[in-house]
Amino acid sequence: MNSKLWILLDTETTGLSAPVFVVELAAQRMRGWSPEGEPFRKLLNQNQEIPAEASRVHGYTREILERDGEPAHQVYREFAEYAGNLPLVSFNLEYDLDEVLKPEWKRLRISPIGSQGLCALRLAQRLLDPVPAGNCKLQTLRQYYRLPERGAHTALGDVQTVVDLFAQVLCPIAEHRGLDTWEKLAAYAAEEWFPSRIAFGKHKGRLFQEARKDAELRRWLDWLAGSSNARSAKMGRWYLRQLEVKTEPAIDSAMFAPPEIEGKKRVKSPPGIGVAAIVVYINPELEQLRQLVAGARARLAELESSYTREKSRVDAMQAVLFRRLREHYQKRDRLRLIVDYRKKFLDSLVRGGDEEARQAEENYAKARAQSEKDYQETAAAVAGKKQLTPEEEVELNRLWKKLVKLYHPDRFAHEPEKLETYHKLTAAINRAKDSGDIQTLREIADDPHGFILRQGWASLDFSDAAEIGQLRRLFETLQLEIISVIESLNQLRESPDYELCRISEQKPGVLEELAAERKKLLEKESAELRQQAEKLAEEIKELTGAEQPQIS
């Protein structure tokens, strides 16, 4: 494997709907598990419009590509020289090669470049099974394993992230399993395989191996194997075959233990394994499992702190815009309601007479009251929105180290009253996190029992059990929380509001400029709505003889 040359590539495109055009192509020549030489990276100008949803993901617009892009034929000629006939690999080869590049080469009448390699996504899914990060999205794995930030959703950034993933996570696992040649690795990635953790149905989340001892799960797998759906039946038959054979050798959990945490002894990890490279844990010893739980809690605390801190920044920016533009948004929305009401009033009057028209009038009154209430509630919610101070950001780390110790729903699974308390407590923590309410987070973290008692809820015991089974379930719960926060953090960072917040912090005058532009647009829209409303008022007067109230 160490001498094998191959190409790792990625593309960014105009979107998912055919025809798909490449806007960025990046690649890295690899020798074994390591990069060799400089990467290849080109922007392509194909004179195509870039849909807004695609541009929001990768950041490229038609203007950028017309300025910095190169003709497609020239890019692919240079890529052919770079790649030769080496195997092509990507983190979703079916999409990048079969759905994007091959159709594009055919459209451009270019001979196919390189040869069919393996899918890095399928390889990762199988090597990491059951996936500790919850899913195998590239950015989720990057954050879970604490790989360097390389520019998410750019082709070159994603290629570099896959290189990191290979070196720090996948290579040690593959070598441990004896996958030491390209041929073995390619065959392993291509073999028929399904995830160990069932992804759907009433047994969703369970490991199929549990069917060896669970008769109900075994009956469900038998039912799945006999399904009329070909894919489901294929999956069921595969699971049943695996139950009859020896399972794949497990990875020794000591190889992937977390670092030293709060004075506890660290289990030695092999060279090249990242701090958070926790993959498969098969029947760990109690002390090792406690360390895994401690490591997961430390990771969760770090992520929760990051999310709360960055959400606070975005909320503070949104609050500034709301306060500056509330009057103009509210005026516009009032006029929209009036126009909508007067149109419905006229339709109802013509169709159903006075009685039906009066119903439209009542509906308008309710909608107007609700709109006013919504603005008042939003104003109250943003009144206290402010960016956290440096002191509060430091305190967040301390608070979340305490708060993550409260995650343990499995402890209360068979005690309905206590489980209800746990759900209420979790909801209170999440509300405080989302709203940036550091005071409530402080109150819960410093005295969770007191907080629970003040709410009148059933008391809870948050001490960790010494029983291996419960600690293993606690670790799985923490893993799910980690994935949930990673996904929330990714969604936040990919949102237009986050991008605006980032730009406004770099250029302090941007918010004022944006507010001024939006104010002009809102005033223009309000003027047009006022004209419509006045015209509709004249029509109503002609039909009923009644004057409409002045627009306030």
Q: What is the pLDDT of residues 217-276, one digit of tens each?
A: 999 999 999 988 888 899 999 999 999 875 544 443 333 333 333 333 333 333 333 334
Average pLDDT of 478-504? 87
Spatial contact of 92 and 16, defined as CB atoms under 8 Å apart? no
User: Residue 260: what pLDDT?
Assistant: 37
Amino acid 481 reads E
Residue found by looking up tokens 């002191």 in the block: 391
Spatial contact of 248 and 177, defined as CB atoms under 8 Å apart? yes
**Does pLDDT of 456 surpass 70?**
yes
Helix 448-455 / helix 438-446 crossing angle, nearest 10 deg = 110
CA nearest 348: which of 195, 520, 543, 493? 543
User: Residue 383: what pLDDT?
Assistant: 79
List pLDDT tens digits, range 356-383.
788 888 888 899 999 999 989 888 877 7
Q: Which residues are 263's β-sheet partners?
A: none
**Residue 283 DSSP code:** S
Rounded to whole angstroms, what are the CA distances from 111 to 18, 91, 106, 241? 20, 23, 8, 42
CA nearest 401: which of 358, 452, 444? 444
Residue 545: left if φ>0, alpha if ψ -120 to 50, beta else—which one? left
Give me the phi and psi of 192, to 5 degrees please: -65, 130
Which of 108-122, 235-249, 270-284, 320-334 is predicted least confidently? 270-284
Amino acid 284 reads P
User: Residue 247: what pLDDT?
Assistant: 52
Spatial contact of 111 and 81, defined as CB atoms under 8 Å apart? no
User: Residue 438: what pLDDT?
Assistant: 86
Rounded to whole angstroms, what are the CA distances from 124 to 115, 170, 185, 518? 21, 7, 11, 46
Average pLDDT of 473-496? 86
List pLDDT tens digits, range 504-531.
888 888 889 989 999 999 999 999 999 9
C-alpha–C-alpha distance, residues 249 and 513, integer Å? 61
User: Residue 47: what pLDDT?
Assistant: 92
Helix 120-127 / helix 155-165 crossing angle, nearest 10 deg = 30
CA atoms in the 13 A half-sphere facing the CB of 93: 20
Q: Domains plus CATH for the chain? A: 5-190 (3.30.420.10), 283-552 (no CATH)
Per the model's pLDDT, the better-predicted residue between 42 and 541 turns out to be: 42
C-alpha–C-alpha distance, residues 65 and 38, integer Å? 23
List pLDDT tens digits, range 173-206.
999 999 999 999 999 999 999 999 888 788 888 8
Spatial contact of 470 and 411, defined as CB atoms under 8 Å apart? yes
Q: Which residues are 88's β-sheet partners?
A: 7, 116
User: How many CB atoms within 10 Å of residue 400?
Assistant: 25
CA nearest 25: which of 78, 63, 67? 78
Residue 468: burial class (beta carbons within 10 Å; 0-12, 13-18, 19+) = middle
**pLDDT band at 466, cuts 50/70/90?**
low
Among residues of the chain, what percentage have pLDDT more than 70? Answer: 91
**pLDDT band at 278, cuts 50/70/90?**
very low
C-alpha–C-alpha distance, residues 221 and 235, integer Å? 9
**pLDDT band at 51, cuts 50/70/90?**
confident
List pLDDT tens digits, range 428-445.
998 888 877 888 999 999
